[in-house]
Amino acid sequence: MKKLLLLSVMLLIALGLTGCGNETNKAQETDKVKLGIIQIVEHPSLDATRQGFLDLLKEQGYAEGEKLTVDYQNAQGDQGNLQTIARKFVQERSDLVLAIATPSAMMMANESSDIPILITAVTDPISAKLVKSAEKPDTNVTGTTDMNPVKDQLKLIQEIVPNAKKVGIIYNASEINSQIQVDVADQAAPELGLQLKKVTVNASSEVMQAAQSLTNQVDAIYLPTDNMVISSIAAVLKVAEDNKIPVITGEVSSVENGALATIGIDYYQLGRTTGEMALRILSGEKPQDMAIQSQSGTDLVLNLEAAARMGVTIPESVKAKAKKVIE
Protein backbone atom coordinates (compact mmCIF):
# COMPACT_ATOMS: atom_id res chain seq x y z
CA MET A 1 0.00 0.00 0.00
CA LYS A 2 2.83 2.37 0.91
CA LYS A 3 4.58 1.60 -2.38
CA LEU A 4 1.39 2.31 -4.30
CA LEU A 5 0.92 5.61 -2.45
CA LEU A 6 4.54 6.60 -3.12
CA LEU A 7 4.17 5.84 -6.86
CA SER A 8 0.98 7.91 -7.00
CA VAL A 9 2.68 10.92 -5.38
CA MET A 10 5.66 10.66 -7.72
CA LEU A 11 3.31 10.49 -10.73
CA LEU A 12 1.43 13.59 -9.60
CA ILE A 13 4.71 15.47 -9.11
CA ALA A 14 5.89 14.46 -12.59
CA LEU A 15 2.62 15.57 -14.15
CA GLY A 16 2.85 18.84 -12.27
CA LEU A 17 6.37 19.47 -13.50
CA THR A 18 5.32 18.65 -17.06
CA GLY A 19 2.44 21.09 -16.77
CA CYS A 20 4.78 23.77 -15.48
CA GLY A 21 7.06 23.12 -18.42
CA ASN A 22 4.18 23.57 -20.83
CA GLU A 23 3.14 26.77 -19.10
CA THR A 24 6.71 28.02 -19.27
CA ASN A 25 6.88 27.31 -23.00
CA LYS A 26 3.59 29.09 -23.53
CA ALA A 27 4.85 32.05 -21.55
CA GLN A 28 8.02 32.17 -23.61
CA GLU A 29 5.98 32.12 -26.80
CA THR A 30 3.71 34.84 -25.41
CA ASP A 31 6.75 36.97 -24.57
CA LYS A 32 7.65 37.16 -28.26
CA VAL A 33 6.48 40.29 -30.04
CA LYS A 34 4.17 39.45 -32.95
CA LEU A 35 5.17 41.78 -35.78
CA GLY A 36 3.14 41.95 -38.97
CA ILE A 37 4.69 43.58 -42.04
CA ILE A 38 2.39 44.66 -44.86
CA GLN A 39 4.07 45.84 -48.08
CA ILE A 40 2.30 46.97 -51.26
CA VAL A 41 4.85 45.65 -53.76
CA GLU A 42 8.46 44.52 -54.01
CA HIS A 43 11.02 47.02 -55.21
CA PRO A 44 14.47 47.94 -53.90
CA SER A 45 13.52 51.05 -51.90
CA LEU A 46 10.69 49.40 -50.00
CA ASP A 47 12.76 46.25 -49.45
CA ALA A 48 15.63 48.37 -48.10
CA THR A 49 13.27 50.11 -45.68
CA ARG A 50 12.04 46.76 -44.36
CA GLN A 51 15.58 45.46 -43.96
CA GLY A 52 16.73 48.57 -42.12
CA PHE A 53 13.80 48.21 -39.72
CA LEU A 54 14.50 44.55 -38.97
CA ASP A 55 18.26 45.09 -38.66
CA LEU A 56 17.75 47.84 -36.08
CA LEU A 57 15.42 45.66 -34.01
CA LYS A 58 17.85 42.74 -34.16
CA GLU A 59 20.74 44.93 -32.99
CA GLN A 60 18.61 46.02 -30.04
CA GLY A 61 17.73 42.50 -28.91
CA TYR A 62 14.64 41.75 -30.99
CA ALA A 63 15.98 39.07 -33.32
CA GLU A 64 13.49 37.20 -35.46
CA GLY A 65 12.80 33.78 -33.94
CA GLU A 66 13.97 34.86 -30.50
CA LYS A 67 12.08 37.83 -29.04
CA LEU A 68 10.33 38.55 -32.32
CA THR A 69 8.03 36.63 -34.65
CA VAL A 70 7.67 38.21 -38.09
CA ASP A 71 4.80 37.68 -40.50
CA TYR A 72 5.87 39.42 -43.73
CA GLN A 73 3.16 39.73 -46.37
CA ASN A 74 3.50 41.33 -49.82
CA ALA A 75 0.36 42.35 -51.71
CA GLN A 76 2.08 42.28 -55.12
CA GLY A 77 0.42 45.59 -56.00
CA ASP A 78 -3.13 44.30 -55.49
CA GLN A 79 -5.59 46.22 -53.31
CA GLY A 80 -7.64 43.10 -52.62
CA ASN A 81 -4.53 41.38 -51.31
CA LEU A 82 -3.78 44.40 -49.12
CA GLN A 83 -7.19 44.17 -47.47
CA THR A 84 -6.84 40.42 -46.89
CA ILE A 85 -3.44 40.92 -45.27
CA ALA A 86 -4.63 43.78 -43.06
CA ARG A 87 -7.62 41.78 -41.84
CA LYS A 88 -5.37 38.79 -41.16
CA PHE A 89 -3.17 40.90 -38.86
CA VAL A 90 -6.25 42.18 -37.03
CA GLN A 91 -7.74 38.70 -36.59
CA GLU A 92 -4.43 37.29 -35.36
CA ARG A 93 -3.96 40.22 -32.98
CA SER A 94 -0.50 41.37 -34.04
CA ASP A 95 1.28 43.32 -31.33
CA LEU A 96 2.71 45.75 -33.86
CA VAL A 97 2.36 46.31 -37.61
CA LEU A 98 4.85 47.86 -40.00
CA ALA A 99 3.02 49.26 -43.03
CA ILE A 100 5.36 49.99 -45.93
CA ALA A 101 4.21 52.64 -48.46
CA THR A 102 1.05 54.75 -48.50
CA PRO A 103 -1.46 52.18 -49.84
CA SER A 104 -0.39 49.65 -47.20
CA ALA A 105 -0.61 52.24 -44.43
CA MET A 106 -4.07 53.43 -45.49
CA MET A 107 -5.46 49.91 -45.70
CA MET A 108 -4.02 48.85 -42.35
CA ALA A 109 -5.27 52.01 -40.60
CA ASN A 110 -8.72 51.43 -42.12
CA GLU A 111 -8.86 47.94 -40.63
CA SER A 112 -7.59 48.70 -37.12
CA SER A 113 -7.82 51.65 -34.78
CA ASP A 114 -6.10 50.01 -31.83
CA ILE A 115 -3.11 47.95 -33.02
CA PRO A 116 0.00 50.19 -33.02
CA ILE A 117 0.84 50.85 -36.68
CA LEU A 118 4.24 52.11 -37.77
CA ILE A 119 4.33 53.54 -41.27
CA THR A 120 7.34 54.11 -43.50
CA ALA A 121 7.92 55.24 -47.09
CA VAL A 122 4.74 57.31 -46.81
CA THR A 123 4.93 60.68 -48.55
CA ASP A 124 2.28 62.68 -46.68
CA PRO A 125 0.59 60.99 -43.69
CA ILE A 126 -1.71 63.98 -43.17
CA SER A 127 -3.11 64.05 -46.72
CA ALA A 128 -3.53 60.28 -46.51
CA LYS A 129 -5.59 60.88 -43.33
CA LEU A 130 -3.39 58.59 -41.31
CA VAL A 131 -2.60 61.18 -38.63
CA LYS A 132 -4.17 64.43 -37.46
CA SER A 133 -0.85 66.26 -37.39
CA ALA A 134 2.80 65.41 -37.90
CA GLU A 135 3.69 66.68 -34.42
CA LYS A 136 0.96 64.76 -32.59
CA PRO A 137 -0.67 62.01 -34.69
CA ASP A 138 -3.52 61.44 -32.19
CA THR A 139 -4.25 58.07 -33.82
CA ASN A 140 -2.79 54.57 -33.53
CA VAL A 141 -0.44 55.45 -36.42
CA THR A 142 3.02 57.03 -36.45
CA GLY A 143 6.29 56.47 -38.30
CA THR A 144 8.42 58.04 -41.01
CA THR A 145 7.80 60.03 -44.18
CA ASP A 146 9.79 59.81 -47.41
CA MET A 147 8.66 63.15 -48.86
CA ASN A 148 11.13 64.01 -51.61
CA PRO A 149 12.79 67.32 -52.46
CA VAL A 150 10.87 67.40 -55.76
CA LYS A 151 11.89 70.92 -56.70
CA ASP A 152 15.57 70.13 -56.13
CA GLN A 153 15.21 67.02 -58.28
CA LEU A 154 13.78 69.10 -61.13
CA LYS A 155 16.64 71.57 -60.70
CA LEU A 156 19.03 68.64 -61.00
CA ILE A 157 17.63 67.93 -64.46
CA GLN A 158 18.59 71.47 -65.48
CA GLU A 159 22.06 71.13 -63.99
CA ILE A 160 22.72 67.94 -65.94
CA VAL A 161 20.84 68.91 -69.10
CA PRO A 162 21.04 72.74 -69.22
CA ASN A 163 18.88 73.02 -72.35
CA ALA A 164 16.05 70.90 -70.94
CA LYS A 165 12.66 72.58 -71.24
CA LYS A 166 10.15 69.72 -71.35
CA VAL A 167 10.05 67.03 -68.68
CA GLY A 168 7.87 63.92 -68.78
CA ILE A 169 6.43 62.45 -65.59
CA ILE A 170 5.02 58.91 -65.37
CA TYR A 171 2.89 58.06 -62.34
CA ASN A 172 -0.14 56.23 -60.99
CA ALA A 173 -2.73 58.90 -60.16
CA SER A 174 -4.53 56.56 -57.74
CA GLU A 175 -1.50 56.60 -55.42
CA ILE A 176 -1.95 59.61 -53.14
CA ASN A 177 1.80 59.75 -52.52
CA SER A 178 2.48 60.11 -56.25
CA GLN A 179 -0.21 62.73 -56.79
CA ILE A 180 1.24 64.84 -53.98
CA GLN A 181 4.69 64.80 -55.61
CA VAL A 182 3.24 65.68 -59.01
CA ASP A 183 1.34 68.59 -57.44
CA VAL A 184 4.62 69.88 -56.02
CA ALA A 185 6.24 69.49 -59.44
CA ASP A 186 3.35 71.43 -61.02
CA GLN A 187 4.01 74.32 -58.65
CA ALA A 188 7.79 74.27 -59.11
CA ALA A 189 7.97 73.85 -62.89
CA PRO A 190 6.92 77.39 -63.90
CA GLU A 191 9.48 78.90 -61.52
CA LEU A 192 12.17 76.81 -63.18
CA GLY A 193 11.00 77.49 -66.71
CA LEU A 194 10.01 73.86 -67.28
CA GLN A 195 6.97 72.39 -68.99
CA LEU A 196 5.62 69.11 -67.66
CA LYS A 197 4.07 66.38 -69.77
CA LYS A 198 2.26 64.01 -67.42
CA VAL A 199 1.32 60.44 -68.29
CA THR A 200 -0.67 58.28 -65.87
CA VAL A 201 -0.79 54.50 -65.64
CA ASN A 202 -3.23 52.15 -63.96
CA ALA A 203 -1.21 48.93 -64.17
CA SER A 204 2.42 47.87 -64.42
CA SER A 205 1.77 46.60 -67.93
CA GLU A 206 1.10 50.18 -69.05
CA VAL A 207 4.45 51.60 -67.93
CA MET A 208 6.42 50.85 -71.10
CA GLN A 209 3.71 52.30 -73.32
CA ALA A 210 3.64 55.43 -71.16
CA ALA A 211 7.40 55.83 -71.57
CA GLN A 212 7.13 55.30 -75.33
CA SER A 213 4.50 58.03 -75.57
CA LEU A 214 7.09 60.53 -74.28
CA THR A 215 9.74 59.88 -76.93
CA ASN A 216 10.41 62.87 -79.21
CA GLN A 217 8.31 65.00 -76.85
CA VAL A 218 10.49 65.58 -73.77
CA ASP A 219 14.10 66.38 -72.91
CA ALA A 220 14.10 64.27 -69.75
CA ILE A 221 11.88 61.93 -67.73
CA TYR A 222 11.22 62.36 -64.01
CA LEU A 223 9.92 59.45 -61.93
CA PRO A 224 8.54 60.24 -58.45
CA THR A 225 8.53 57.57 -55.75
CA ASP A 226 5.57 55.82 -57.34
CA ASN A 227 5.28 52.19 -56.24
CA MET A 228 3.76 50.92 -59.47
CA VAL A 229 6.16 52.72 -61.80
CA ILE A 230 9.33 52.06 -59.83
CA SER A 231 8.50 48.35 -59.64
CA SER A 232 8.53 48.43 -63.47
CA ILE A 233 11.39 50.88 -63.93
CA ALA A 234 13.28 48.51 -66.25
CA ALA A 235 10.68 49.23 -68.94
CA VAL A 236 11.19 52.99 -68.62
CA LEU A 237 14.97 52.66 -68.71
CA LYS A 238 14.89 50.56 -71.89
CA VAL A 239 12.84 53.19 -73.70
CA ALA A 240 15.02 55.98 -72.32
CA GLU A 241 18.27 54.32 -73.37
CA ASP A 242 16.96 53.48 -76.85
CA ASN A 243 15.91 57.11 -77.34
CA LYS A 244 18.72 58.84 -75.42
CA ILE A 245 16.44 60.41 -72.79
CA PRO A 246 17.90 61.02 -69.30
CA VAL A 247 15.88 59.64 -66.38
CA ILE A 248 15.93 61.39 -62.99
CA THR A 249 14.22 59.61 -60.10
CA GLY A 250 12.93 60.34 -56.63
CA GLU A 251 15.05 57.77 -54.81
CA VAL A 252 18.54 56.28 -54.70
CA SER A 253 17.88 52.60 -55.43
CA SER A 254 16.52 53.42 -58.88
CA VAL A 255 19.81 55.11 -59.73
CA GLU A 256 21.69 52.08 -58.47
CA ASN A 257 19.51 50.02 -60.80
CA GLY A 258 20.09 52.08 -63.93
CA ALA A 259 18.52 55.54 -63.72
CA LEU A 260 20.74 58.58 -64.25
CA ALA A 261 20.60 60.56 -61.00
CA THR A 262 18.68 61.67 -57.94
CA ILE A 263 18.82 63.86 -54.91
CA GLY A 264 17.07 61.53 -52.53
CA ILE A 265 16.90 59.82 -49.18
CA ASP A 266 18.45 56.57 -48.01
CA TYR A 267 15.56 54.14 -47.53
CA TYR A 268 17.62 51.72 -45.46
CA GLN A 269 18.31 54.51 -42.95
CA LEU A 270 14.65 55.50 -43.06
CA GLY A 271 13.80 51.94 -42.04
CA ARG A 272 16.25 52.13 -39.15
CA THR A 273 14.65 55.35 -37.96
CA THR A 274 11.29 53.59 -38.02
CA GLY A 275 12.84 50.72 -36.06
CA GLU A 276 13.93 53.16 -33.35
CA MET A 277 10.32 54.30 -33.08
CA ALA A 278 9.22 50.67 -32.75
CA LEU A 279 11.50 50.27 -29.73
CA ARG A 280 9.84 53.27 -28.10
CA ILE A 281 6.40 51.71 -28.62
CA LEU A 282 7.61 48.39 -27.22
CA SER A 283 8.84 50.34 -24.18
CA GLY A 284 5.36 51.73 -23.57
CA GLU A 285 5.06 54.93 -25.60
CA LYS A 286 1.83 55.49 -27.52
CA PRO A 287 1.79 56.14 -31.30
CA GLN A 288 -0.68 58.98 -30.85
CA ASP A 289 1.93 60.96 -28.91
CA MET A 290 4.93 60.25 -31.20
CA ALA A 291 5.70 62.80 -33.92
CA ILE A 292 6.21 61.68 -37.52
CA GLN A 293 9.94 61.50 -38.31
CA SER A 294 11.87 62.17 -41.52
CA GLN A 295 15.45 61.70 -42.64
CA SER A 296 17.59 64.79 -42.23
CA GLY A 297 19.50 65.61 -45.41
CA THR A 298 19.52 64.11 -48.89
CA ASP A 299 22.23 62.60 -51.07
CA LEU A 300 23.17 63.34 -54.67
CA VAL A 301 23.79 60.03 -56.45
CA LEU A 302 24.95 59.69 -60.07
CA ASN A 303 25.21 56.72 -62.40
CA LEU A 304 27.89 57.30 -65.05
CA GLU A 305 27.16 53.99 -66.78
CA ALA A 306 23.55 55.09 -67.22
CA ALA A 307 24.73 58.48 -68.47
CA ALA A 308 26.71 56.77 -71.22
CA ARG A 309 23.74 54.62 -72.21
CA MET A 310 21.46 57.67 -72.32
CA GLY A 311 23.95 59.81 -74.23
CA VAL A 312 24.42 62.31 -71.40
CA THR A 313 27.62 64.02 -70.28
CA ILE A 314 27.37 64.96 -66.61
CA PRO A 315 29.13 68.30 -65.86
CA GLU A 316 32.14 68.12 -63.56
CA SER A 317 30.48 70.67 -61.25
CA VAL A 318 27.67 68.18 -60.63
CA LYS A 319 30.03 65.23 -60.14
CA ALA A 320 31.93 67.23 -57.53
CA LYS A 321 28.79 67.48 -55.36
CA ALA A 322 27.85 63.81 -55.55
CA LYS A 323 28.00 61.65 -52.44
CA LYS A 324 28.02 58.52 -54.56
CA VAL A 325 29.07 57.99 -58.18
CA ILE A 326 28.37 54.67 -59.88
CA GLU A 327 30.90 53.96 -62.64
pLDDT tens figures, 17-73: 444 444 333 334 457 999 999 999 998 889 999 999 999 999 999 999 999 999 999
199 and 314 both lie in a single domain: yes
Work out the angle at residue 173's Cα, subtended by the Cα atoms of residues 223 and 254, and round it to the nearest 5 degrees. 20
Q: How many domains does the chain have?
A: 2
138 and 284 both lie in a single domain: yes
Q: Is 7 a member of any domain? A: no
Q: Is 201 a member of any domain? A: yes
Q: Is 2 a member of any domain? A: no
Q: Is 103 a member of any domain? A: yes
Residue pLDDT, tens place only, 266-323 = 899 999 999 999 999 999 999 999 999 998 778 899 999 999 999 999 999 999 999 9
166 and 250 both lie in a single domain: yes
Which domain does 303 fall in, by range?
A: 150-264+299-326
CB–CB of 168/221 below 8 Å? yes
- What's the longest Cα–Cα distance across the chain? 105
Q: Is 27 a member of any domain? A: no
pLDDT at 28: 41
pLDDT at 18: 46
- Among the listed ranges 11-25, 61-75, 226-240, which one has the minimum average pLDDT value? 11-25
Q: Is 17 a member of any domain? A: no
Q: Is 53 a member of any domain? A: yes
Q: Is residue 74's pLDDT more than 90?
A: yes
- CATH of residue 214's domain is 3.40.50.2300
